[in-house]
Chains A and B, each alone.
Chain A
C-alpha cells in the first residue's frame, strides 16, 4: 500500500524536532441533533433519524440545541478555556454529498471556548502542558459508503450510499495550539492527549466517548524542523485516526516519513493523509493548503449564542473532579503501588473500587476482589467489569465472611459465582450450597487418618523431614471434605499427627 521511504524513529529524532497539533472531534450524546429535533442515535436503520432539516429540504431553518451548548461549555471549562460572552455560527461552504446543504454549520472566528490548556501526565511522571486554542461547535456530516472499487474510497467507486442519520449530530471540535518540545515523547504524548480528552468528555457525561464508534475522532498534524530552528516545517494532517494506539502509531510514522523526505532534500507536501491500521502507514489524501476556500460567513439563519455569566458559573461549579486529579488523590488514599494503580486504571475498575471502599472494604481487599476475581470474569463474558452487576456490598460481605474464617477464598469465589448466577445473597448461597469451613477437628482427623493410610510412602517421607511432600496428604483431605476444610488447619493437624515440628 505504502511505498514511503521512512527513517528509523531514532534517526529522525537525532536531527529533527517534531511539532504536533490535534483536532479532536467529540460527538455529543444529546437526545436530539445540533439544529433539528431528529433523534441523535447511533446504529439505527440508515436515513431514519432524519427530518426535513437534516435533509436540507428547501425552506428549512436550523434551531440551536441548548443541551449541545451546555455540553460545549462544560467541555470548554474542563479544558480550562475561556467561554465566549457571545459567539456566532458560520457557514463553511463546500460541495460534498454527505453535507445535505452543501455547507456545514460550524463556528469560525467566534468559538464558544478558547485559550485553554490540558496537563498531560506521561509515563515517566512528567507533566506536559498542551495549550488549547479553541473548542467550537459544529454539526456532523452524513456517512458515505462507497460501493465497488478496490479502496472503499470515493475514487474508483461504482456508486456511493449516504446515510444522513449522522448529519446534524452535534460535534465539539477541540483544536490545540502547536505542541512543541515533546521530542521523542511525541507519539506517547499524542496518545496520552487524546486519551485525556476522551476521558474528560466521558467523565463530563457529554459524550459516549467510544472511539470505535467515532464518538471521538482525531486528526493529527505533524511537522518537523531541524533542532534549533524556530520556524515550523510543512505539516501533514492525518485524518480520522480513531484509536488511541493508532494515534501513537500515526504520529510516529509521520515523523519517520517526514524525516526521510527532508533527508532526501525534498519538500514535505502540505496534504491530508489517510491512516491504515493494517499496515500502520499513511497514504496521501488530497492536497490541502491554507488557501482552501470555504467562503465562511456568519450563519444568517441563527442568532448569536450568548451564554450568561451566571449560567457559565453554575456549570463550572457543577463540574466533576478532573480525572487526572482524581486519580492522583485516589492513588495516594489507597496506597497502591504505581504498577497496581496502573493495572486498576487500565482494567477500568477505578469507580468500582472506589465504591467498594466506600461500602466498607479495605483498599487492598477491594483491589484483590476486582482485579483478582471480577475482571477475569468480565473478560470471559466480554463485558466491562462494571457491567457484571457486582454490588460493592456483596464484596464487603464476602470479604467479611473470609476474614471471620467462615469460608475460605476458594469458597468465596464460588459464592461470587452463585451471586452472579442470581442464586441469592452470599449468606443464602453459603447455606444453600452447604459451603462452610469445617472447623471441627473430629471429621478432619478421620480424613487425615484415611489419607495417611492411603499414601504410607508419603507419610514416611514427611516423617523423614521432607515436609514439602505434605501437599499430597493435604490434597487428599481437601478432596475428601469437598474443599470445605481449612487447609491451614489440616496441615497443622497432619504435622501434629506425624510428630513433625517445622
Chain B
C-alpha cells in the first residue's frame, strides 16, 4: 500500500499506530476513520487468509465497519456539539472474539454447532462499542467455546502465531491476540476463563487484561464457566487496554454478577507514570521449576527494572496455588457441562437427525451434539457431568470449591504484604501447532499461572516482557491486583512497559517478522 493520507502516513504505518495514537490523529483530523478502517481491512485481506494466513478472523464485517467509520468522519467534519461529544475511541476499529454475540454478524463460538447462527441481540459490551462508534472489523477465531490454550480446537481451523506461523497463538483467544499482533486490528475483545486473554497475549507479544470478575458485563458472552468467565481488552499497549476497558466496563443490570460501583479512572492510572514505593510481590509458586529458562530470564529482567524504578520487590507464598489447576478443571467443566446443555438442535443452530432408528427427541439431541461438538468440548462436558453426579459432587465439585476459597485466602494474605503480584504469564513461549494437541494435560498446564486469578476473581494483566533467548519468541509478564483494584495493574503495567520499550528502543512487536513480505497479496481475499 502506498496511498497517502493527509499526514503522509502510509497504510502500513497507520496500522502500526496504537489505538491511543490513532484516536489522537482522528481527533486532529490528520487521518479519517474510513482510511484507518480500510487500512485494517486491507491488512486482513493481505495476511489473514490462504494456506499460511494468520486465520485470526472467522468473519470480516467490512461493510458495517466502513459505514460506522464514515458516520464518525461525517460527524467530525460537521463539527459542533456532536463532534465534541464523540467518544475518545470513536472511529477506532476493533475486532470481537467470536464468543461474544453481535447483531448483523454470525456468532459461532468456534463451533460447528452454531455455524450460521445469527444472534438476535447484541452483547452489552458490543452495545457499548456501538455507542462509542467504534467500527467492528469482524469476529475472531477461538478454541471451540473457548476451551483450549492454542486455538487449535476451533472448528474453523487454527490461528497461526504472527511471530512464527508454525506456532500456536495461545488460546482460547488466539484469534484476538493474533489479529492485534499482526496489525489486523488495533484493539480486540477477548474472554478469559482460565487465561484465554492473558496467555495468548503472552505468546503473541501483546497486552491482555482479565478485569476483576464483575467489572465488565458478561451479558452476551457465550458462557463456558459462568463463575470464571470475564470479558477483557486485547491490545498492543497498556494504555490502549485501559481506554478499551473504560468503554466496555461498568455496571450492567442484565448481569446479576456485575459490580454495582462505577469504574475507577483506569486511563488516568495508566498515565500515572511511577511505581515508587509500591510493593510488588513475586509469587514463589509461580516461577522457577517448570518454567522455560528464557521465560524466567525475562521475568527477572522485569523485576530488575521495577526495582530500579523504585518499587519494592517482596516474595510471597501462595501454597494453595498448587491445587488451583486441579480445582479449575473440576469447576470449569462442571459449569460448562450445564452451560452447554442448551445446544441441542431444538431452538437454533445445527440440527442433526439420527441416521437410523427411531426419531425421538433424545436421539435428535444426541446426534446433534455428537456431530456439533468437537473432542475437547465433549471431554469437558463428560468431565463436568461426572463431577456433578450424585455421589461424586462432594468429592469433586465440593472439594474444588473449597480449594477455590483457599486460593482466595492465599491472595488475601499476599495482598497484605504486596500491592501488586507478579509472575510469568505462561510457563513457556508459543509451542508448535499440533505439539500438545494429543496431550490434554500438557495443554492444560499452560494455564497454571493464569488460573488462580479466575478462581479468586482478581484482575490480571499480561504485557510483553521481551523475547526468550533460546527461541526468540515473546514472553509475557503477568501482574495481579486485588479485586476492584484494576487501576493498579494499569499503573504498574504502563510503567513497566515504558521501561522495557526504552530498553528495546520501541515496541516489542516492531521486532516481529514482516508478514506482508511473506504473504503474496494476490492470494489473499477478504473472507
Instruction: Spell out A's residues near B (CB within 8 Å).
Output: 52, 55-64, 91, 93, 95-97, 100-103, 154, 160, 162, 291, 293, 295-297, 300-303
Contacts and interface: CB of A to CB of B under 8 A. Distances in A.
Contacts of A295: 337-338, 385, 388-390, 393
A154 B385 CA distance: 26
A303 B257 contact: yes
B344 interface: yes
B257 A301 contact: yes
Interface string B332-359: 0011011001111011100000000000
Contacts of B385: 295
B55 interface: no
Nearest to B227: A300
Contact of B341 (A61, A62, A93): A93
Contacts of A59: 100-101, 107, 119, 123, 219-223
B41 to A, nearest CB: 26
B130 interface: no
A57 B344 CA distance: 12
**Most chain B CB within a 10 A radius of its CB, from A58, A60, A63:** A58
Nearest 10 CB-CB pairs, A to B?
A102-B341, A300-B226, A295-B388, A300-B227, A59-B220, A58-B222, A56-B342, A59-B101, A293-B390, A101-B342
B109 interface: yes
Contacts of B527: none
Given A302-B256, A303-B256, A58 B109 contact: yes
A95 B344 contact: yes
**B219, B342, B347 — most chain A CB neighbours (10 Å):** B342
A154 B341 CA distance: 21
A488 B224 CA distance: 87
A160 B114 contact: no
Interface string B108-149: 010000100101110100000000000000000000000000
Contact of A63 (B254, B365, B389, B397): B254
A101 B341 contact: yes
A297 B393 contact: yes
Given A57-B119, A303-B256, A297 B346 contact: no
B255 interface: yes
A58 B341 contact: no
B390 A291 contact: yes
Interface in B192-243: 218-223, 225-227
B470 interface: no
Nearest to B388: A295
Given A52-B120, A59-B101, A61-B218, A97 B361 contact: yes
Contacts of B109: 58
Nearest to A56: B342
The residue in A64, A91, A297, A303 that gathers the most chain B C-beta atoms within 10 A of its C-beta is: A297
Contacts of B337: 93, 295
Contacts of B13: none
A91 B348 contact: no
A62 B362 CA distance: 26
Contacts of A55: 347-348
12 contacts: A57-B120, A59-B219, A59-B220, A93-B337, A95-B341, A96-B361, A154-B361, A295-B337, A297-B397, A300-B227, A300-B257, A300-B335
A296 B344 CA distance: 20
B114 A58 contact: yes
Contacts of B123: 59
B223 A301 contact: yes
A82 B443 CA distance: 49
Given A295-B337, A297-B338, 12 more contacts: A52-B121, A57-B120, A58-B117, A59-B101, A59-B107, A59-B221, A59-B223, A63-B256, A103-B338, A296-B388, A300-B227, A302-B256
Q: Is the interface of A mostly helix, strand, loop or mixed?
A: loop
A295 B227 CA distance: 17
B56 to A, nearest CB: 21
Contacts of A297: 334-335, 338, 388, 393, 397
A166 to B, nearest CB: 15
A241 B334 CA distance: 35
Most A CB within 10 A of own CB, among B100, B254, B365, B393? B254
B338 A100 contact: no
B338 A91 contact: yes
Given A160-B361, A303-B256, A60 B219 contact: yes
A291 B365 CA distance: 23
Contacts of B362: 95
B80 interface: no
B347 A93 contact: no
Interface residues of B, number: 44
A154 B382 CA distance: 28
Contacts of A60: 219-220
Nearest to A62: B256
Residue of B253, B344, B348 most packed against chain A (CB within 10 A)? B344
A95 B256 contact: no
A58 B361 contact: no
Contacts of A91: 338
B120 A61 contact: no
Nearest to A162: B346
Q: Which of A57, A101, A295 has the most CB of B within 10 A?
A: A295
A293 B385 CA distance: 10
Contacts of B346: 97, 162
Contacts of A95: 341, 344, 362, 365
Contacts of A303: 256-257
A479 B397 CA distance: 89
A55 B334 CA distance: 22
Interface in B378-405: 385, 388-390, 393, 397
B495 to A, nearest CB: 35
Nearest to B366: A95
Listed residue (B221, B226, B338, B348) with the most chain A CB atoms within 10 angstroms of its CB: B338
A302 B218 CA distance: 12
Nearest to A63: B256
Nearest to A155: B360
Contacts of A162: 346
A168 to B, nearest CB: 14
A154 B362 CA distance: 12
A56 B347 contact: yes
Contact of A93 (B120, B227, B338): B338
Contacts of A57: 101, 119-121, 347-348
A297 B107 CA distance: 28
Given A102-B344, A293-B389, A297-B388, A61 B256 contact: yes
B360 to A, nearest CB: 9
Contact of A301 (B100, B256, B397): B256
B452 to A, nearest CB: 18
B253 A63 contact: yes
Interface in B248-267: 253-257
A405 B17 CA distance: 101
Nearest to B340: A102
Contacts of B221: 59
Contacts of B227: 300
Contact of A100 (B219, B342, B361): B342
A95 B365 CA distance: 9
Contacts of A93: 337-338, 341, 388
A302 B257 CA distance: 6
Nearest to A91: B338
Contacts of B219: 59-61
Contacts of A160: 361
A295 B395 CA distance: 14
Nearest to A52: B121
Nearest to B114: A58
Contacts of B257: 300-303
B229 to A, nearest CB: 9
Interface string B303-344: 000000000000000000000000000000011011001111
A399 B459 CA distance: 77
A297 B346 CA distance: 24
A146 to B, nearest CB: 11
